[in-house]
A and B are shown apart, each in its own frame.
Chain A
Amino acid sequence: DIQMTQSPSSLSASVGDRVTITCRASQGINNYLAWFQQRPGKAPKSLIYLASNLQSGVPSKFSGSGSGTDFTLTISSLQPEDFATYYCQQYASFPLTFGGGTKVEIK
């Protein structure tokens, strides 16, 4: 199974900050990586697929990069609605696996 490791597991940031979350795969996954946002008490929402492609309707302040084993999600200017937990997920091979999540909290 491919293990997905996210770092950090949590972070505190202020409104307007630039935030970067990293995700590492235990083996190469090409660019078969997605990112999701989950606000408290809500269902996850797809942000990015194929490592860097923004889902329709997702604001351009979100961006993704990487290929192979190392990936990043960047939020260019944090807003109150961005405080949430973010998950990466690989879909290069079965079983499909998620990272443990990164909780972004208000400083």
Chain B
Amino acid sequence: EVQLVESGGGLVQPGGSLRLSCAASGFAVSSNYMSWVRQAPGRGLEWVSIIYRGGSTYYPDSARDRFIISRDNSKNTVFLEMNSLRAEDTAVYYCVGGSGSYFDYWGQGTLVTVSS
């Protein structure tokens, strides 16, 4: 059974940084697509980042130059480093894995709140 478990969310001040983790089981992060998708309170889904099997990374404009996705194959874990956080980054962040499609498996999410 595939499990993706996020951690690292919490309250952070505007301009601050946070690092999210996603521990995978039953699913190899090194040989699949791994992404982060977020959902602001009461809003829809927004893709935040993806790392390919070969290590290439892609971001939307809203995350480029502030967010970095990475992985540790030995720990089967994916990370999202978020810098220069803004109020509009407040959301539940989901770790998502895929093999054929990008978004086959979803974690339960971790809440990030950016507020002073």
Task: State the interface size on chain B (CB cutoff 8 A).
Answer: 21
Query: CA of A46 to CA of B96 in the docked complex: distance in angstroms?
Result: 10
Q: In the assembled complex, how far is the CB of residue B80 from the closest CB belonging to chain A, in whole angstroms? A: 15
> Can you give 21 contacting A-B residue pairs, CB < 8 Å?
A34-B101, A34-B102, A34-B103, A36-B45, A43-B108, A44-B37, A44-B45, A44-B106, A45-B106, A46-B103, A46-B104, A50-B100, A50-B101, A87-B45, A89-B45, A91-B101, A94-B60, A98-B45, A98-B47, A101-B44, A101-B45
Q: Chain A residues with Cβ under 8 A from B105's Cβ?
A: 46
Q: Which residues of B contact A (CB under 8 A)?
A: 35, 37, 44-47, 50, 58, 60-61, 94, 100-109
Which A residues fall within an 8 A CB radius of B?
34, 36, 43-46, 49-50, 55, 87, 89, 91, 94-101
Q: Report the minimal beta-carbon distance from B97 to chain A, rounded to whole angstroms.
A: 10
Q: Within the complex, which residue of A89, A95, A101 is in contact with B103, where a contact is CB–CB below 8 Å?
A: A89
Which residue on B lies nearest to A44, using beta carbons? B106
Is there an interface contact between B106 and A46, defined as CB atoms closer than 8 Å?
yes
A55 to B97, CA, bound (A): 14
Q: Provide the residues of chain A in CB contact with B60, threshold 8 Å.
A: 94-96
Contact assessment for A43 and B104 in the assembled complex, using a CB-CB cutoff below 8 Å = no
CB distance from B81 to the nearest CB of A (A): 19
Please give, as numbers and ranges, the residues of chain A lying within 8 Å of B101 by CB-CB distance. 34, 46, 49-50, 91
